[in-house]
Each structure stands twice: as structure tokens, then as C-alpha cells.
Structure 1
Amino acid sequence: MSEPTLKYLEMPTLAAAGGGARRLAYWDWAGASTLDASHAVVCVHGLSRQGRDFDTLARALAGRVRVLSVDVAGRGHSDWLADPMGYQIPQYGADIATLLQHVRAQEGVSTIDWVGTSMGGLIGLGLAAQAAMGLRRLVLNDVGPAVRWEALQRIGTYLGLDPVFDSAEAAIDYLGSISLGFGPHTPEQWRALNLPMLRCDGDRWRLHYDPAIAVPYRALMGLDEAQGRAAAAAGEAALWGLYDNLRLPTLLLRGATSDLLSAETARDMGMRGPCARLVTFDGVGHAPTLVAPDQVETVRRFLLDMP
């Protein structure tokens, strides 16, 4: 199967920006050739990205298992929220928990693995800590309980901006300029990664997310540095508490020059909680895109081949 099916699931909480029911969009890589449709790998993207980030990984997995890549609320084809303060990890986790319950109850899925990049990893960490979610394996892509304040400041320089572009090429160039940490990619890989990040607005192009996703983020970053660091420290302590109680097999990916996940935090994650298996990719910062063959093969082997 070369292309996924776009599906929607109605969410029981929070209204859409236009009022009424709200839908969560997800891309379903399942087909007649899938060997085990009862086994789903759920892929969740970073803060300002969308579900098509995982196309390359999904194609590598889809012949063996079902892959579901989610557009988190306010991104891609998922509805925007009426209340922008809902753009926070607890709500994202509740949305995807509803999706997991749906595919288990209605679509015959019995085994679920999680691949989460950055924010998607934090959502997965929260769900993996809930026994009722029943996750089998967890991949955390360049994220852990401790997130560097400096990286949050960097992300804040562009998150929630609403630039308008005269061409898709100009927009792709812009996205490349704020995504240098992704590491080297061919022009074709850049285009494949970033074209789904765009939406057509008349004869112009805009980013495919609600600019209001930045509202809660700016509330945090609007604190003075001492308050902000204190809030970050409290969040870090809570996340370490969740991580330390995990017992499922966990793979931790890190870009060697990541400014978000430090080498020290990655080392500690290998010695605490589930004792994550760490794989570091040279020439990459935040975050590995799971496009390069060595990155894809690392995840594929962990999910499908390792006992």
C-alpha cells in the first residue's frame, strides 16, 4: 500500500472552533496485504507538525502491521479548538486515548505500540503510564522527562506564527530554515516532509495548523525566567515520576546535537524506569525525522524483530 486512508473520529469533549462536534483526523496505513491487522503502531508528531511526518516509517511497517498516524488537535486535518487553552498535552492524550479505545472495540486491534516524536513522545509517556491503555512497546524520539529551557525558547520564536507564502516552494524553504535540527535531507525528502505542512488559501499558502496552538505555550514562556524554570522543574518531576514507573520495552532515539534532549537525560533514562535502549544519530539535532534508512531500520527492528 503506497498511500494511507484519511479517517476521522468524533471527540466527546471540547468544541471545534466553528462550534459543534469536533473531529480527530488520523491516517490509516492498512490494506489487504497487512499481515497482522490486529497489531497497530500509533505514530504521533511534534508540537507544530502533523501525521504525514511518518510516511516513510509507515511504508516500512505497513506490510507487517497496521500504522495509524495522528493529526493532533489543531494540526493537519483535525479540527481547531474553540478554546485555545485546550491545546495542551492532557487534552491531546485524552483525544488519542479515545482513538485507542475505538480501534480496540470497533476495529479488532489488540496490540498497540507507540512512536512519538518530541511532543508525541510526551503524550505517549503519559498514556504508557496508564495500565488501561495496554501499550506494548514505546519509542520516544528525542524527548524525555527533562526538556531544556533553551530549546523551549528557540521553539517559541516561530511557534504560532501565521506566515503567508506566494508559492509552496517558498513555504517549504521557510520550514527548512526553522528545522535545521532535522539533519540532512535531499530536496525530494524535504518536499515530502513539508508539503503536507501546507494548506492552500486562494492563490497563497499557509501553514497547516491553528496559530492558536501557541497560546498555552506563550503563557508559559511569558513567565519571568525564574517562574518559567520553576514551572518546567515541576513538570519535569512529574514526568520522571511517570517514567520511573514504566515497565514496557522502550527505545529512546536522540539526535547527537539535540538542544532539547540532553545526553545526560538520555543516559539517566537508560538507567531508570524501563531502562530505555538508547540509539544516537550523528549529524542530527532535534529531532530525527525517521526518514533516513538507519533511523527507519532502528525503529522497525525494535517494534517487529526484537523479542
Structure 2
Amino acid sequence: MPHKVTQPATAYSTKFHLGLGFHGFHRIHYIEWGKASKFNTQETLLCVHGITRNARDFDYLAKKMCKDYRVVCPDVVGRGDSDHLGTDEGYNYLQYNSDMNALIARLGVTEVNWIGTSMGGIIGMVLASLPQSPIRRLVINDIGPEVARDTLLSLSENMEPKEDFDTLEDVEAYFRVIYEEFAPMTDVDWKHLTKHSCRRTSKGKWRLKTDKCVGEAFRKSITYLNVDMWEAWDQISCPVLILRGKDSSFLTEEVAQRMISTGPETTLVEFENTGHTPTLRNDEQVNVIADWLKST
């Protein structure tokens, strides 16, 4: 009798859908967690990463949540295993918003619960502010409607094009510097982040999975003013959970307090000894999200 292979409860599948921009079509890679047979009865949890990150940042959260939710984690274009455009012209929020809307349509759902880290939070805020938005509940991980220009300039320095690395250990050492505010992070977490953030080249080197043009586009987008999305914030009508690292360089305490006193019904949770961003890689942070989703 042939051996029967049983898929674990935390099994995931990798898929692609097509996005469309002025440059033409591009493939968006996404990961779907849980048992496909349950998808038609489960709420969808859509998790979108930060500007230089990828879908695998949500592995810990997805494993914990996929018993109760259909968890979908995309690589935004230019990151992870999605297509790289090779030009900075397509790396903007108009394209990101369009791609995520196409993904929601691909999933065949009319509502989603959105978890957005940094850039993913900005995309979520924009989509949630629009009429007839499919976002039912919004979790924003360490970002707000206002970001100081100096903070953006500091981030742009970490997005300078990098040569290929000789070893995985070199890549990890680099990440430990540029992501020093990430918390909590164990040695296992750093190895996981490193493994899924680079690939081996034909010459045996290690190359980051973020298109170099992403950084070029970001630098061009910085103006002489702070980011100001307060008008969009006031248009959001769904419940919002804000996660903030108390040592965050992106979401200041002043902005966070203004967010809970204006706009939508908002809950703020802060984490000690954490900067930008809470990594959602431990039970404390994930349980906050799970409990809030259940309570709303």
C-alpha cells in the first residue's frame, strides 16, 4: 500500500496573479495559508509587508492565524518572488493600490481584513479611505498618516543599491544593521529573514530580492514636506488597530495620539523595547491582533 502523505495544518501554497501598469503586465507572487477546502467559510486576512520586505515576514503570524482565517501574503511588485520592473517608473502607490485591488478580485471575496506593516499600512489606509472599500477591519503596523521628511531621508540611505554578498552570514550582518529597530528578533528570526530575502546568483553570490529601482523611486518621491495623509485618515470608516513600537522612528507618539482622537474608531497598542517595526514574530504581538479581530 502506498504511503499516504498528510498535509500539515499550516501548509501553504504559492501562487501568482497579473498586475497591470503603464509598462505592461507583471506577475505578483502571493502565499496562501491553510486548507483550501475551508477558504469559502473563512474570513480573509490580507497581510502586506514594508517597503523593502516581502511576504515571508508574516510566516509566524500566518501559521498561528490560518486555522481561523484564510491568510494571504503577497510580495508587492519589485520585492520577493514578484516580478522586478527594472525601472523606477512603476514603483508608486498608484501601482501598489491597483495590484492589491486585483489580488482581492482574484481571491473572489468582497471583504478582507487588512494587516499592513509600514508601506503595507499606507496602502491599507488609502484603500480603506475610498468609497465602497472592501477592507472590513484594518491593522496598521507602525505607520501613520504623517511621516517626517527627515525620517524618509534616513530610510532612503538604507535603500542604496548594494553589490552582491559573498555569504549568507554577510547578508545577515547587513540586515542586523539596517533593521536594528525590528523587535523582537531571535537568532532564528534573523536567519529566517535572511533566507527569504536573498537568492543565489549564477556566480555563487547572494543578491537581495528587492529591485534596486525601488530605492530610486523612493528617493525621487521625497519632497520638502512631511507625508500628510490626514484627509484620507478622516475618510476611513472601518475599525482600526494601530500597533506601535515605543521606540519607533516612524510613528511618533504625537501622531499616534492624534490618530486615536480623530478619524475612525481606533485602538492603539504599544510594545516596549521595539522600534520600527514590531515584527509580528511572537505570541504577544500576534495575540493582540487575534484578540482584536475577534472583539470587533
TM-score surpassing 0.5? yes
Aligned residue number for residue 242 of structure 1:
232
Aligned residue number for residue 245 of structure 2:
255
Query: C-alpha distance in 2, partners of 1:185/1:219?
Result: 31
Q: CA-atom RMSD, angstroms?
A: 1.7
Provide, for residues 176-233 of structure 1, a one-character-per-residue CA deviation record: whole Å limited to 9, x for no partner. 1111100242111111123111111131101111100012222244xxxxxx333x3x
Gaps of 5+ in 2: 1-8
The amino acid of 2:84's aligned partner reads W
1:288 aligns with 2:278: yes
| Paired residues of 1:181 and 1:258 also in contact (CA < 8 A) | yes
Aligned residue number for residue 150 of structure 1:
150
Aligned residue number for residue 134 of structure 2:
134
Query: What is the deviation of 1:260?
Result: 0.7
2:68 to 59, 64, 68: 64
* 3-state secondary structure, aligned to 2:74: strand
Query: What is the deviation of 1:166?
Result: 1.4
2:89 to 72, 85, 88: 85
Query: C-alpha distance in 2, partners of 1:33/1:296?
Result: 24
Query: What is the deviation of 1:3?
Result: 3.9
1:306 aligns with 2:287: no
Query: C-alpha distance in 1, partners of 2:86/2:212?
Result: 12
Query: C-alpha distance in 1, partners of 2:208/2:284?
Result: 29
* 3-state secondary structure, aligned to 1:199: strand
Query: What is the deviation of 1:111?
Result: 3.2
Query: C-alpha distance in 1, partners of 2:42/2:106?
Result: 13
The amino acid of 2:20's aligned partner reads P
The amino acid of 1:96's aligned partner reads M
1:205-284 correspondence runs (5 A): 205-221=206-222, 228-230=223-225, 232=226, 235-236=227-228, 239-284=229-274
Aligned residue number for residue 73 of structure 1:
77
| Paired residues of 2:75 and 2:82 also in contact (CA < 8 A) | yes
| Paired residues of 1:254 and 1:261 also in contact (CA < 8 A) | yes
Query: What is the deviation of 1:151?
Result: 1.8
* 3-state secondary structure, aligned to 2:181: helix
TM-score (structure 2 length as normaliser) = 0.92
Query: C-alpha distance in 2, partners of 1:290/1:209?
Result: 21
Provide, for residues 242-295 of structure 1, a one-character-per-residue CA deviation record: whole Å limited to 9, x for no partner. 111111110001000101110000000001111420000000000101012111
The amino acid of 1:204's aligned partner reads K
Aligned residue number for residue 99 of structure 1:
103
Query: What is the deviation of 1:53?
Result: 0.4
* 3-state secondary structure, aligned to 1:270: helix
Aligned residue number for residue 44 of structure 1:
48
1:11 aligns with 2:19: yes
| Paired residues of 1:76 and 1:209 also in contact (CA < 8 A) | yes
* 3-state secondary structure, aligned to 1:229: coil
Structure 1 residues 151 and 46, CA gap change in structure 2 (3 angstroms): same
* Of 136-145 and 208-217, the range deviating more from structure 2: 208-217
| Paired residues of 2:10 and 2:66 also in contact (CA < 8 A) | no
| Paired residues of 1:9 and 1:23 also in contact (CA < 8 A) | yes
Provide, for residues 75-100 of structure 1, a one-character-per-residue CA deviation record: whole Å limited to 9, x for no partner. 01111125412101121011101111
Aligned residue number for residue 225 of structure 1:
none
The amino acid of 2:185's aligned partner reads H
Query: What is the deviation of 1:103?
Result: 1.2
Structure 1 residues 163 and 4, CA gap change in structure 2 (3 angstroms): farther
* 3-state secondary structure, aligned to 1:53: helix
| Paired residues of 1:30 and 1:37 also in contact (CA < 8 A) | no
| Paired residues of 1:121 and 1:143 also in contact (CA < 8 A) | yes
Task: Using the aligned pairs only, state the percent identity.
Answer: 34
Query: What is the deviation of 1:65?
Result: 1.0
Higher helix share: 1
Gaps of 5+ in 1: 222-227
| Paired residues of 1:93 and 1:123 also in contact (CA < 8 A) | yes
Q: How many residues in Structure 1 have an aligned counterpart in Structure 2?
A: 287
